[in-house]
């Protein structure tokens, strides 16, 4: 088992990504305080892919910067990617249990999803 971590900002202590070298060989890593992107060979499908681990900030303007960074990174990688973790926003206002709904945040997140060509897989 191998791993890489970064010190995160905000309430999180850190962000870490782990992988099994028998399944995935990392060739490059892009990271900042909000995400870790691992690019490498996924042996089961014999293809290069990227895995992106995200901890989005609570503040809208910082999230927008992260979405922009991820769109640019994804576009430059030219490989399929898997994106996951904590986005600190929602796609659909009906999913909100309580509190105020920030429609701007939902709009910017949906815009990111479209630009990055992300498919939201069902749980």
pTM, two decimal places: 0.85
The answer to whether position 76 is within a domain reads yes
Q: With respect to residue 70, please indicate whether it lies within any of the assigned structural domains.
A: yes
Three-state SS at 105 = helix
**Position 123 in a domain:** no
pLDDT of residue 73: 92
* DSSP state letters, 93-104: GGG--SS---HH
CATH code of the domain in which 78 resides: 3.60.10.10
Given a contact cutoff of 8 angstroms between Cβ atoms, the answer to whether 47 and 34 are in contact is: no
**Segment 61-75, tens digit of pLDDT:** 999 999 999 999 998
Would 120 be classed as within a structural domain?
no
Q: What is the pLDDT of residue 99?
A: 66
How many domains does the chain divide into? 1
Q: Is residue 106 part of a domain?
A: yes
78: in domain: yes
Summarised one tens digit per residue, pLDDT across range 72-106 is: 999 899 899 999 878 888 777 776 666 677 777 88
Confidence band, pLDDT 50/70/90 cuts, at residue 13: low
Does 73 fall in a domain? yes
Range of the domain at 100: 2-115
């Amino acid at each position: 088992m191998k791993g890489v971590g970064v010190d995160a900002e905000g309430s999180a202590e850190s962000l870490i990504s782990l992988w099994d070298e028998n399944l995935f060989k990392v060739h490059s890593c892009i990271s900042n305080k909000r995400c870790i992107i691992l690019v490498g060979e996924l042996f089961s499908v014999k293809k290069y892919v990227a895995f992106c681990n995200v901890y989005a900030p609570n503040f809208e303007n910082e999230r927008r910067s992260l979405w922009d960074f991820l769109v640019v990174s994804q576009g430059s990688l030219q490989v399929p990617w898997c994106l996951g973790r904590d986005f600190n926003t929602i796609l659909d206002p009906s999913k909100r249990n309580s509190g105020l709904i920030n429609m701007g945040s939902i709009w910017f997140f949906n815009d990111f999803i479209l630009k990055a060509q992300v498919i939201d897989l069902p749980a």
